[in-house]
A = this chain, B = another copy of it.
Amino acid sequence: MKTIDVCLSPELMHLYKVRDRTVVVVDILRATSCMVTAFAHGIETITPVADLNTCRMMRHKGFIISGERDGKKVEGFDKGNSPYEYMGPDIRHKRIAFTTTNGTQAIEKSKEAHKVIIGSFLNLSTVVKYLLFGENNVLIVCAGWKGKVNLEDTLFAGAVIDRLRNHIEPDCDAPLIAQQLYNDAKDDMVTYLKNSSHVKRLDKLDIHKDIEYCLTIDQYDVLPKLKQGVLTLI
């Protein structure tokens, strides 16, 4: 039977061998939710970029530049980190260069993997099917918050593990922890997350609407995949 494990923070990536695995990168609030939304609305490619300057320079090459640091849009950038910015006709057939506090760093650290896909609650069932049909063992990489573990990414990992429980075996304690938390939370994730530090942090930025949206399951069936450093649809 295939196995599934969860890396609860990018700072633990060195403990996992990923060369033969399929890695799912997740940053529910809000990088990977934005990415999935953008692909569902016709973006052609997204290039994850680790630092602000590299991202800024890509505007000259025709990219829309998206940047977020500490939950806020970076000054001078075209777009920030709210999924509602990625629904308009202005992104259709365009390319985005995207840099965020946690999500794009997690993608960077996952590059060695056999396959890297982008997960969010918005495309949960599509992620689950892809993992089920593939041959590889799986690692879910939670973006966390500046290296620390966060609740919402852990819940997403738990949702995937719970749906695959009869098909893919948990590899260690982290998947069991994630699955348990998801089962505690699944009936009302918005309320469950209300006390989490990340949601409190974002609350100050007045983005309740974003949070509810990012916790909506199966809004889209797109699956972004990393190929030579660039995300495209499978």
Is A177 within 8 A of B181, CB to CB? yes
Q: Which of A188-207 contact B (CB under 8 A)?
A: 195-198
Contacts of A149 in B (CB 8 A): 8, 172-174, 177
How many chain copies does the complex carry?
Answer: 2
Is A172 within 8 A of B154, CB to CB? no
Given contacts A184-B184, A197-B172, is CB(A147)–CB(B15) below 8 Å? yes
| Cross-chain contact of A180 among B11, B14, B147, B181 (Cβ < 8 A) | B181
- For residue A30, give the distance in angstroms from its CB to the closest CB of chain B: 16
- A19 at the B interface (CB under 8 A): no
Is A15 within 8 A of B173, CB to CB? no
- A102 at the B interface (CB under 8 A): no
A198 and B142 alpha carbons, distance in the complex (Å): 22
> Interface on A for B, CB 8 Å cutoff?
8-9, 11-12, 14-15, 145-151, 154, 170-174, 176-177, 180-181, 184, 195-198
For the complex of A and B, 7 pairs with smallest distance between CB atoms:
A151-B173, A15-B147, A150-B173, A172-B197, A149-B174, A173-B196, A173-B197
